[in-house]
Amino acid sequence: MAKQLLVALVLVVGLFQAGQCAAVAQERGIKIAHEQPKEFICTDDGTYPSPGECTDVYYLCSGGVAYPQACLDGNVFDPVTFVCTPSDEASCNQKFNCPADGLFPYPDACANIYFICSAGQSYIEYCPPNYVFDPITFRCETKEAASCTPTDAPTDAPTDAPTDAPTDAPTDAPTDAPTDFPTDAPTDAPTEAPTDAPTTV
Protein backbone atom coordinates (compact mmCIF):
# COMPACT_ATOMS: atom_id res chain seq x y z
CA MET A 1 0.00 0.00 0.00
CA ALA A 2 2.82 2.40 0.87
CA LYS A 3 4.44 1.68 -2.50
CA GLN A 4 1.20 2.59 -4.35
CA LEU A 5 0.89 5.84 -2.37
CA LEU A 6 4.51 6.72 -3.20
CA VAL A 7 3.90 6.09 -6.92
CA ALA A 8 0.73 8.22 -6.82
CA LEU A 9 2.57 11.04 -5.01
CA VAL A 10 5.41 10.99 -7.57
CA LEU A 11 2.84 11.06 -10.39
CA VAL A 12 0.98 14.03 -8.88
CA VAL A 13 4.21 15.98 -8.29
CA GLY A 14 5.36 15.20 -11.85
CA LEU A 15 2.05 16.37 -13.33
CA PHE A 16 2.14 19.53 -11.23
CA GLN A 17 5.71 20.32 -12.35
CA ALA A 18 4.83 19.58 -15.98
CA GLY A 19 1.84 21.92 -15.66
CA GLN A 20 4.06 24.65 -14.25
CA CYS A 21 6.57 24.20 -17.07
CA ALA A 22 3.81 24.35 -19.66
CA ALA A 23 2.40 27.53 -18.07
CA VAL A 24 5.83 29.21 -18.07
CA ALA A 25 6.47 28.13 -21.65
CA GLN A 26 3.10 29.45 -22.78
CA GLU A 27 3.74 32.73 -20.95
CA ARG A 28 7.07 33.10 -22.80
CA GLY A 29 5.62 32.15 -26.19
CA ILE A 30 7.42 28.81 -26.38
CA LYS A 31 5.63 25.93 -28.08
CA ILE A 32 5.94 22.52 -26.49
CA ALA A 33 5.61 19.36 -28.53
CA HIS A 34 3.23 17.03 -26.74
CA GLU A 35 3.85 14.14 -29.09
CA GLN A 36 6.25 11.57 -27.73
CA PRO A 37 9.00 10.44 -30.08
CA LYS A 38 8.07 7.25 -31.89
CA GLU A 39 9.89 4.18 -30.73
CA PHE A 40 12.14 2.61 -33.35
CA ILE A 41 11.59 -1.13 -33.57
CA CYS A 42 14.58 -3.24 -34.54
CA THR A 43 13.83 -6.26 -36.69
CA ASP A 44 17.48 -7.10 -37.38
CA ASP A 45 20.81 -5.94 -36.07
CA GLY A 46 22.36 -3.12 -38.09
CA THR A 47 22.29 0.60 -38.74
CA TYR A 48 19.06 2.30 -39.83
CA PRO A 49 18.03 5.84 -40.78
CA SER A 50 15.38 7.64 -38.80
CA PRO A 51 12.13 6.69 -40.57
CA GLY A 52 10.76 9.37 -42.86
CA GLU A 53 13.40 11.96 -42.06
CA CYS A 54 16.58 13.31 -43.58
CA THR A 55 18.26 14.08 -40.30
CA ASP A 56 21.37 13.51 -38.22
CA VAL A 57 19.55 10.89 -36.14
CA TYR A 58 19.94 7.20 -36.93
CA TYR A 59 19.60 3.96 -35.01
CA LEU A 60 22.07 1.23 -34.20
CA CYS A 61 20.21 -2.01 -33.52
CA SER A 62 21.86 -4.72 -31.49
CA GLY A 63 20.13 -7.67 -29.89
CA GLY A 64 16.71 -6.21 -30.71
CA VAL A 65 17.43 -2.92 -28.92
CA ALA A 66 17.54 0.40 -30.80
CA TYR A 67 20.26 2.81 -29.73
CA PRO A 68 19.69 6.34 -31.08
CA GLN A 69 22.85 7.85 -32.57
CA ALA A 70 23.61 11.27 -34.06
CA CYS A 71 25.92 12.39 -36.84
CA LEU A 72 28.40 15.11 -35.95
CA ASP A 73 29.35 18.44 -37.52
CA GLY A 74 26.01 19.17 -39.18
CA ASN A 75 26.05 15.93 -41.18
CA VAL A 76 22.94 13.85 -41.83
CA PHE A 77 22.54 10.09 -41.98
CA ASP A 78 22.21 9.10 -45.63
CA PRO A 79 19.46 6.45 -46.06
CA VAL A 80 21.09 5.07 -49.23
CA THR A 81 24.78 4.86 -48.25
CA PHE A 82 24.13 4.34 -44.51
CA VAL A 83 26.86 6.77 -43.45
CA CYS A 84 26.91 10.30 -42.05
CA THR A 85 27.48 12.74 -44.87
CA PRO A 86 27.27 16.51 -45.44
CA SER A 87 23.63 17.52 -45.73
CA ASP A 88 23.93 18.94 -49.26
CA GLU A 89 25.47 15.66 -50.49
CA ALA A 90 23.00 13.28 -48.82
CA SER A 91 20.77 11.26 -51.13
CA CYS A 92 17.70 12.37 -49.19
CA ASN A 93 18.44 16.02 -50.06
CA GLN A 94 19.06 15.57 -53.79
CA LYS A 95 16.78 17.10 -56.38
CA PHE A 96 14.98 14.78 -58.78
CA ASN A 97 13.90 15.91 -62.24
CA CYS A 98 10.46 14.47 -62.87
CA PRO A 99 10.07 12.92 -66.33
CA ALA A 100 6.29 12.61 -65.74
CA ASP A 101 3.81 12.29 -62.91
CA GLY A 102 4.11 9.08 -60.90
CA LEU A 103 6.38 7.13 -58.58
CA PHE A 104 10.10 6.79 -59.32
CA PRO A 105 12.87 4.82 -57.60
CA TYR A 106 15.96 6.55 -56.32
CA PRO A 107 18.37 6.55 -59.31
CA ASP A 108 20.98 3.79 -59.51
CA ALA A 109 20.17 2.26 -56.12
CA CYS A 110 17.78 -0.19 -54.54
CA ALA A 111 16.93 2.07 -51.63
CA ASN A 112 14.31 2.78 -49.01
CA ILE A 113 13.58 6.18 -50.54
CA TYR A 114 11.70 7.04 -53.72
CA PHE A 115 10.15 10.04 -55.41
CA ILE A 116 6.56 11.04 -56.06
CA CYS A 117 6.22 13.41 -59.02
CA SER A 118 3.19 15.60 -59.46
CA ALA A 119 2.88 18.60 -61.79
CA GLY A 120 6.64 18.67 -62.33
CA GLN A 121 7.47 18.74 -58.58
CA SER A 122 9.31 15.90 -56.87
CA TYR A 123 8.66 14.85 -53.29
CA ILE A 124 10.84 12.35 -51.46
CA GLU A 125 9.12 9.50 -49.66
CA TYR A 126 10.47 6.79 -47.36
CA CYS A 127 9.68 3.11 -47.11
CA PRO A 128 9.30 1.59 -43.63
CA PRO A 129 12.42 0.15 -41.98
CA ASN A 130 13.72 -3.02 -43.70
CA TYR A 131 11.76 -2.21 -46.87
CA VAL A 132 13.02 -0.89 -50.20
CA PHE A 133 11.21 0.69 -53.12
CA ASP A 134 10.79 -1.96 -55.83
CA PRO A 135 11.24 -0.47 -59.32
CA ILE A 136 9.08 -3.22 -60.87
CA THR A 137 6.05 -3.22 -58.55
CA PHE A 138 6.39 0.49 -57.61
CA ARG A 139 5.75 -0.42 -53.99
CA CYS A 140 7.77 -0.72 -50.84
CA GLU A 141 8.69 -4.38 -50.49
CA THR A 142 10.72 -6.32 -47.96
CA LYS A 143 14.37 -6.58 -48.94
CA GLU A 144 13.89 -10.30 -49.55
CA ALA A 145 10.83 -9.85 -51.79
CA ALA A 146 12.11 -6.90 -53.83
CA SER A 147 13.15 -7.39 -57.45
CA CYS A 148 16.29 -5.31 -56.81
CA THR A 149 19.14 -6.03 -54.43
CA PRO A 150 19.80 -3.34 -51.83
CA THR A 151 23.28 -2.37 -50.82
CA ASP A 152 23.80 -3.56 -47.30
CA ALA A 153 24.77 -1.09 -44.65
CA PRO A 154 28.43 -1.20 -43.78
CA THR A 155 29.16 -3.56 -40.95
CA ASP A 156 30.67 -2.33 -37.75
CA ALA A 157 34.35 -2.82 -37.09
CA PRO A 158 35.18 -6.44 -36.26
CA THR A 159 34.97 -7.25 -32.59
CA ASP A 160 37.43 -10.18 -32.71
CA ALA A 161 41.01 -9.42 -31.78
CA PRO A 162 43.55 -9.81 -34.57
CA THR A 163 45.10 -13.23 -34.91
CA ASP A 164 48.52 -13.89 -33.38
CA ALA A 165 51.66 -13.74 -35.46
CA PRO A 166 52.64 -17.09 -37.02
CA THR A 167 54.53 -19.38 -34.68
CA ASP A 168 56.23 -21.52 -37.37
CA ALA A 169 59.73 -20.44 -38.34
CA PRO A 170 60.27 -19.50 -41.98
CA THR A 171 61.31 -22.35 -44.25
CA ASP A 172 64.95 -22.76 -45.27
CA ALA A 173 66.24 -21.28 -48.51
CA PRO A 174 65.86 -23.54 -51.59
CA THR A 175 68.51 -26.26 -51.82
CA ASP A 176 68.42 -26.76 -55.61
CA ALA A 177 70.94 -24.75 -57.61
CA PRO A 178 69.69 -22.64 -60.47
CA THR A 179 69.41 -24.38 -63.84
CA ASP A 180 72.11 -23.94 -66.53
CA PHE A 181 71.71 -21.56 -69.42
CA PRO A 182 70.12 -22.97 -72.59
CA THR A 183 72.46 -25.29 -74.51
CA ASP A 184 70.87 -25.00 -77.96
CA ALA A 185 72.67 -22.68 -80.36
CA PRO A 186 70.68 -19.94 -82.10
CA THR A 187 69.01 -20.87 -85.38
CA ASP A 188 70.61 -19.89 -88.70
CA ALA A 189 69.82 -16.56 -90.31
CA PRO A 190 66.90 -16.52 -92.81
CA THR A 191 67.82 -17.99 -96.22
CA GLU A 192 65.42 -15.98 -98.36
CA ALA A 193 66.62 -12.65 -99.72
CA PRO A 194 64.53 -9.56 -99.01
CA THR A 195 61.93 -8.62 -101.64
CA ASP A 196 62.26 -5.60 -103.89
CA ALA A 197 60.78 -2.27 -102.81
CA PRO A 198 57.13 -1.80 -103.76
CA THR A 199 56.56 -0.58 -107.33
CA THR A 200 53.17 1.09 -106.91
CA VAL A 201 53.00 4.70 -105.99
The C-alpha angle with vertex 187 and arms to 184 and 190, in degrees rounded to 5, equals 180
Label residue 21 by pLDDT band (50, 70, 90): very low
Domain boundary among 111, 126, 147: 147
Domain boundary among 106, 129, 147: 147
Cα gap 84→106, rounded to integer Å:
18
Where in the sequence is the domain holding 49, given as residue range(s)?
38-91
Instruction: Say if residues 104 and 114 touch (Cβ distance below 8 Å).
Output: yes
Q: Are residues 99 and 66 in the same domain?
A: no
- Looking at the structure of the chain, the number of domains it has is 2
pLDDT digits (tens, 9 = 90+) for 23-63: 433 444 333 333 444 688 888 899 989 888 899 999 999 99
Residue 46 lies in a domain: yes
pLDDT top residue among 77 and 183: 77
Q: Are residues 118 and 143 in the same domain?
A: yes
Mean pLDDT of the chain: 73
Residue 32 lies in a domain: no
Its pTM stands at 0.52
Label residue 150 by pLDDT band (50, 70, 90): confident
